[in-house]
Amino acid sequence: MTLKKKILIGYGVAFALMVLVVAWAITNLVSLGRATDAILSDNYRSILAAENMVDALERQDSGTLLLFLGENEKGIAQFRENEAVFLEWLARAKDNITIQGEAGLVQSIETNYSAYRKQFSALTDFSETNKAALVPTHYQDKVYPPFIQVREACVGLRNLNEETMYAASLGAGAVARRAIWSTALVAASALIVALMFSLFLAERIAQPIRRFMEASRRISSGDYSVQVPVKTDDELGHLAREFNQMSLQLGRYHEMNFDQIIAEKNKGEAILSSIEDGLVVFDIQLKVAGINPAARRMLKLEFTESSSLRCMDILPDQQVCDLIHKTVETGAQPNIPDEQRIIVLPDNEGSRHYFFSVTAIRGRDQKLSGIVLLLRDVTRLKEVERLKSEFIMAASHELRTPLTSLSMSVDLLMEHATGNLAERDRDLLQAAHEEVHRMKELVNDLLDLSKIEAGRIELEFENVPVATLFGHVEAVFKSQTDMKQVSLESALTHDSLKVRADTNKITWVLSNLISNALRYVSRGGQISLKALQIGHHVHLSVRDNGPGIPLEYQSKLFQKFVQVRGQESSGTGLGLSICKEIVRAHGGTIWVESSAGQGSTFTFSLPVAQ
C-alpha cells in the first residue's frame, strides 16, 4: 500500500466517523421534531375546539336568558348564531379523537347538547304561545341542567387534552435529553476512535522518518555502513532502498585512494601552470584566492603568499575591479563589447595589451563562490592591427592619385572617343569606367575607416531632432524609392524627440543603411524608419522586408569586407564597419535582427539630448 493510500484511508476513517455523528444527530432531531409535532397537531386542536365550544355555549346561554327578559328575537338570533359555531367546533373535535377517553367525552357533549337544544326549542315554542308564563324557575329546572352537563363535558375534554399535552411535553423533554446524551456519547466515541487511529497512522508514518534522521546523523559523523530497515513497500520503503544505496556509494567514495586525489590535484595545478594565459581567482570579498605563474609574470608579482592581496593591489585598472565587484553583487556574467575588454599594463619595454574576461564560479547550490579573471596577451595582435591600418592608409593615399588620373582618362575617352570605337570596345571602356569608380569608393572608404579607427575623425555634436534626420534621408532617397516603387516611411514616438549627435555623420549612417535596404529589397517592397526612446538612449532602426540575412553572417556582418554570399552587391563591404565605428564614437552600439525570408532590422542607439 502506498503512502498516499494510507493517508487517504486515515482521512476516510475520520470522515466516516464525522458522517456517523452527523447522521445520529439528525436522527435525534427528527425524533424530537416528531414529538413536538404530535403535541401541536393532536392535543392543541382538541383544546382549541373545547375552548371555542365553551365560548359558543355560554353565548347561547346568554341568548336563552334574553328570552326570559322578553327579548325573544334577539335571544333566538344569538342562540342560532352560536349554535352553528358550536356544531362546527364539535365536528372538528369528533375528527381529532386521538387519545383514550376522548371519544366518550365527545359523545357525551353531543348527547347533552342535543338535550339542551330540545329544551331551548321547547322554551321558544312555549314563549310564543304564552309569553307571560316564562318564570326563572323554569330556567333553573329545565334549561340550566343540560347546559351545565355540556359545559362540564367540554371542560373535561379540554382538561384531558391539556393533561395529555403536558405528558407529551415531558416525553419530548426526555427525548431531547436522550438525544443530547446519545449524541455526545457517539461524538466522544468517534473522537476517541479518530484520535487513536490518527496516532497509530502518524506513528506508522513518522517511525521510518525518525530512522532516516538517525541514519543521516550517523552518516554525517562518518559512519557510512548505516542501513535503514525496509519494512514497507510504499514510497518510504522505496526511499529507504535508495538511501541504503546512497550510503553504500558514499562508503565507496570514502574508501577511495587519497593519493589518487592528491595526484589529480597536482595534475590540475600542473595544467594551470602550463597555461600561457593569466588566471586569477578572487573570492566574494575580492581577495586573491589563487593565481597561476603566467598571471604573476604579467602582473609583476613575486612567487609569495598572495591570499592577503586584493584586486586593487594587483590590477591598476579600476574598470576591471569594478566589473569583478559588479559580478559579485549581481551574480551575472558581465556583458561588454570586445573592444572594451582590453587593458594596458606597463612593461619593461613599454606597455602590453591584455584581453580580459570575467567568469563567475558557482557551487552545487548555484551560489556564487568566486570569480575567475583571465588575461590573454594580445600585444602582438594589436601591433599587427596597427601596422595593417597604417599600411591600408598609406596604400590608400598612394592609390588615390593614380586612380584619379585613370578615372579622368577613362572619362575623357568615353566623352570623345566612344563614337569611333566598336560596340565591344565601348563595353570594355564602360566596364573599366565602373571598376575605376568602384576602386575610388573603396579607397575613400578605407581612408575614412582608418581615420575613424585612429581617432582622427572630428565630430561636431549638437542637439538634433530625429524628425530632421528622417526627413533629410527621405528627401535624398525619394527619387530612388519612386524609381523602384519602394515605400519609405518613418514613425516617431513623439515629434520633439532629440539626440546628441553629429548630424552629417549620423545622416551618413542612415543613408548607408537605407542604401543597403534598397539594394536587396524587391520592387514594390517597404522600408520603414523608427525611433524609440529607451532610458537615456534613442534607438533608431531601419527595417526592410527583403530576403533577410542568414544567421551565420549576422555575428560578423559589421567586420571589414564581409558580404553575404548569394546576394549580388556592388558595395565594398566596408559600409557597415564605418557605421559601427561612427556609432561607437557617439557612445552607442549597433546591431541587426533578421530571419531568412522575413526581412532585416538594423538598429543603433544614440544618447538623448539633454
In a domain, 507, yes or no: yes
- Of 281-285, 486-490, 497-501, 502-506, the one with minimum mean pLDDT is 281-285
Q: Which of 67, 114, 68 has its CA nearest to residue 87?
A: 114
Task: Choose between 147 and 12: higher pLDDT.
Answer: 147
**Which pLDDT score, from 0 to 100, does residue 608 have?**
92
Cα dihedral 190, 195, 201, 205 in deg (nearest 10) = 150
Based on the fold, state whether residues 436 and 534 are members of the same structural domain: no
Based on the domain organization, do 25 and 156 belong to the same domain?
Answer: yes
331: in domain: yes
**8 A C-beta contact, residue 567 and residue 545:** no
Same domain, 486 and 564: yes
Residue 484 lies in a domain: yes
As a whole number, the mean pLDDT across the chain is 77
The residue ranking higher by pLDDT, 327 or 393, is 327
pLDDT value of position 542: 94
* CATH number for the domain harbouring residue 397: 1.10.287.130
What integer is the mean pLDDT of 192-200? 79
Q: Is 395 among the domain residues?
A: yes
85, 122: one domain: yes
Cβ(601)–Cβ(506) below 8 Å: no
More confident residue, 149 or 175: 149
Residue 423 lies in a domain: yes
Q: What is the pTM of this model?
A: 0.40
- How much is the average pLDDT of 553-557? 78
Q: Phi and psi for 359 in degrees, rounded to 5? A: -125, 135
Average pLDDT over residues 81-86: 88
Instruction: State how far the Cα of 422 lies from the Cα of 178, in Å rounded to an integer.
Output: 131
Same domain for 370 and 397? no
- Among 338, 362, 377, the domain-final residue is 377
Task: Tell me what pLDDT residue 577 has.
Answer: 82
C-alpha cell at 505: 555623420
For residue 465, pLDDT beyond 80:
yes
What pLDDT sits at residue 132? 45
Listed residue (346, 253, 246) closest to 299, CA to CA: 346
Is residue 478 domain-shared with residue 526, that is, in the same domain?
yes
**Domain for residue 249, yes or no?**
no
* In a domain? residue 537: yes
pLDDT of residue 65: 83
At 139, which CATH number?
1.20.120
- Strand pairing partners for 526? 487
* 345 lies in the same domain as 399: no
Closest CA to 356 of 384, 332, 326, 336: 336
Boundaries of domain holding 391:
384-454
- Answer yes or no: do 294 and 404 share one domain: no
Tell me which of 131 and 607 has the higher pLDDT: 607
| Helices assigned H by DSSP within 130-279 | 136-138, 144-220, 235-254, 258-274
Q: Which of 67-71, 293-297, 402-406, 569-573 has the lowest mean pLDDT?
A: 569-573
Q: Is the pLDDT of residue 242 over 70?
A: yes
Q: Does 193 lie in the same domain as 51?
A: yes
Q: What is the mean pLDDT of residues 277-305?
A: 77
Query: What value, to the nearest 5°, has the Cα angle with vertex 354 and ends 352 and 355?
Result: 160
602 and 472 in a common domain: yes
| 88 Cα distance to chain centroid | 76
Nearest to 279 by CA among 294, 301, 300, 264: 294
What is the average pLDDT across 45-66?
85
Does residue 485 come out as left (phi exceeding 0), alpha (psi in the -120 to 50 range) or beta? Answer: left
CATH of the domain at 490: 3.30.565.10
Percent of the chain with pLDDT over 70: 77
Q: Measured between alpha carbons, how far is 526 from 522 in angstroms, rounded to an integer?
A: 9
Same domain flag for 12 and 158: yes
The most confident of 292-296, 437-441, 499-503, by mean pLDDT: 499-503
Clarify whether residues 403 and 341 are in a common domain: no
Please list the helix, strand and coil fractions of the chain in percent, rounded to the nearest 5, in that order.
65, 15, 20
The model's pLDDT over 508-537, given as tens digits with 9 standing for 90+, comes to 889 889 988 888 888 889 999 999 998 889
Quick one: cell of 31? 425524533
Provide the pLDDT for residue 328: 81
Task: Indicate the number of domains in the chain.
Answer: 4
